[in-house]
């Protein structure tokens, strides 16, 4: 079984931030590993206000940006790939780890193992996805705009329905992996913000409902903060990881902030 060779990590406990901060901070910290950041980092966070994030190369044409603005949703890009996610009632995580220490598939499995164990202890029947989706075929399908429409190998499911969606990006010295663990069913509302005809929206909404699961379906009311602590405990139990509190003021400064991940809200001409 693969292991995390490095046992001393930072822990950034669960806090809420706007979308641009969340994505800029992940990107900045991944670039700083081996420089200002001297060890791996596990971070938990939520989104305030709620936010739609797009994959780094995804077209903004997939979204009705005018409606997003009207409803007070942030819209940002992620430094990673994939498709759109509505971040609402969920627990989001990110891990920054040295590049080359583990292959990317092993990293998915190792990072998600503590999540599976923590969820199973709560009574949530979470499990790994056993095989890889054919993404070339998926991106030609009607569901291609939505990240939670499919799962990659070693993402976390419940009876074939996606529970955690994750993505990776390789930097010069590090790998950034971050992902969303669904607590409630707000992710289904993403369809309301897609620039699609009504009939296609209804079909996609039903597809997402049938192919995703949430924690609250099994254990209502679990908070992001309490679940994050249970996952942290499993990192220590599974891999003997020793965490030190992350003092963001000592590393993050004005340099972290970037407009690279901001999506310009433009009202379309009639």
Catalytic residues: 147
3-state per-residue secondary structure call for 97-160: EECCCCCHHHHHHHHHHHHHHHHHHHCCCCEECCCCCCHHHHCCCCCCCEHHHCCCCCCEEECC
Closest alpha carbon to 177 in 43, 269, 49, 70: 43
Phi and psi at residue 98, in whole multiples of 5°? Answer: -60, 135
Tokens of 55: 């994959």
CB neighbour burial string for 118-130, b if at least 16 within 10 angstroms, e if fewer: bbeeeebebebbe
Report which secondary-structure segment, H or E, holds 199: helix 198-211
Strands (E), the chain: 8-17, 41-47, 51-54, 74-77, 85-87, 90-98, 127-128, 156-158, 161-170, 174-182, 242-245
Nearest-10 crossing angle of helices 104-122, 224-239: 120
């Amino acid at each position: 079984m693969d292991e995390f060779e490095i046992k001393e990590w930072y822990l950034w406990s669960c806090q809420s931030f706007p979308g641009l901060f969340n994505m800029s901070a992940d990107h900045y910290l991944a670039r700083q590993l081996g420089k200002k950041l001297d060890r791996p980092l596990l971070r938990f966070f939520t989104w305030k206000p709620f936010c739609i994030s797009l994959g780094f190369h995804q077209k903004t044409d997939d979204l009705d940006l005018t409606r997003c603005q009207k409803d007070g949703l942030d819209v940002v890009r992620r430094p990673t790939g994939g498709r759109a996610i509505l971040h609402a009632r969920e627990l989001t995580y990110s891990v920054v780890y040295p590049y080359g220490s583990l292959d990317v598939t092993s990293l998915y499995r190792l990072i998600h193992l503590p999540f599976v164990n923590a969820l199973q202890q709560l009574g949530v029947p979470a499990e790994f996805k056993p095989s890889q989706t054919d993404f070339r075929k998926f991106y030609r399908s009607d569901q291609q705009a939505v990240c939670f429409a499919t799962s990659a190998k070693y993402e976390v499911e419940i009876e074939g329905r996606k529970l955690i969606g994750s993505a990776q990006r390789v930097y010069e010295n590090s790998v950034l992996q971050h992902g969303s663990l669904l607590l409630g069913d707000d992710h289904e509302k993403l369809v309301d913000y897609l620039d699609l005809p009504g009939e296609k929206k209804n079909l996609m909404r039903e597809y997402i409902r049938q192919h995703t699961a949430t924690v609250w379906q099994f254990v209502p009311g679990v908070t992001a903060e309490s679940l994050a602590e249970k996952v942290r405990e499993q990192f220590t139990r599974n891999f003997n990881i020793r965490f030190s509190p992350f003092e963001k003021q000592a590393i993050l400064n004005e340099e972290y902030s970037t407009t690279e991940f901001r999506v310009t809200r433009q009202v379309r001409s009639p």
